[in-house]
Structure 1
């Protein structure tokens, strides 16, 4: 029996077939895609920067320093002019610079202009602070998979897709039996 004969036998593409297609497109397809998109959104990297030393924050809060002044004192600039997300000035040197400025009476403005002179740039010593104003907490921010640990998100993504491929092969073979 040819396809045309079978279609004549069962009837045309009618109302039931259209309802079935609409049902599949509206209700079933989005549910099948959610696990794939969910993995992408769970590995979203929100904007972040180094968390500053508590004693430095306390000293700067006592001096009524603005956030930009605090960050200028504690974080180096990237090539694009923004603050570094993964590096900071060594905390003890930054605190000493601030205390010297206070002792000399020059204030925070001169301390922030002193810049990086003589201060070592090191990886984040106190963890990271995330900006959740535009994004939500994700696995990356919960597990601190940023900077030198950013490879862990890629391993997680690779493991997900390898497991998906293996699952398709195994389940496909099992369903044919």
Structure 2
């Protein structure tokens, strides 16, 4: 009953809205004899935070930093920056491998990717997380193995 008085329902689906709440004085609402919410009540964005159902999933940076509703673009942008990092790094790392050899570049990118990946788990800022995702992307290796010898029949 409390959820019905605090969270509006979506008009098309009939499900509770995930990013809105009624903007009313709830002490007056609870004290009144209401059988349901008044559709004329004004709504606002969630000001008291969100609840997450972790019965099937574990907490992620999206749930920990509440990158939902108005900030739901942040996970997509950070994922895109990961691939931008890979896109930029492919020619650069290829040139660097030709210049200094594969082994030093592989070691350097593994250290950089490992450090950035671990650091991204402990960040609490979008800018830091997105920057670290970019660095992790720069260390991607999406190459196919080359043959070492021919197989004779």
Using structure 1 for the length normalisation, give the TM-score: 0.51
Alignment of 1:1-177 (within 5 A): 69-78=1-10, 79-92=12-25, 94-101=26-33, 111=34, 113-177=35-99
Which has the greater radius of gyration? Answer: 1
Moved over 2 A (4+): none
Given that 1:76 and 1:116 are in contact with CA atoms closer than 8 Å, whether structure 2 keeps it comes out as no
Q: Structure 1: which 5+ runs fail to align?
A: 1-68, 102-110
Using structure 2 for the length normalisation, give the TM-score: 0.59
Given that 2:21 and 2:45 are in contact with CA atoms closer than 8 Å, whether structure 1 keeps it comes out as yes
Root mean square deviation, CA, Å: 1.5
Where relative contact order (Cα < 8 A, 6+ residues apart) is larger, the structure is 1
Q: Which has the higher helix share?
A: 1
The whole-number CA distance in structure 2 between the counterparts of 1:176 and 1:117 is 67
The whole-number CA distance in structure 1 between the counterparts of 2:38 and 2:66 is 26
SS at match of 1:122: strand
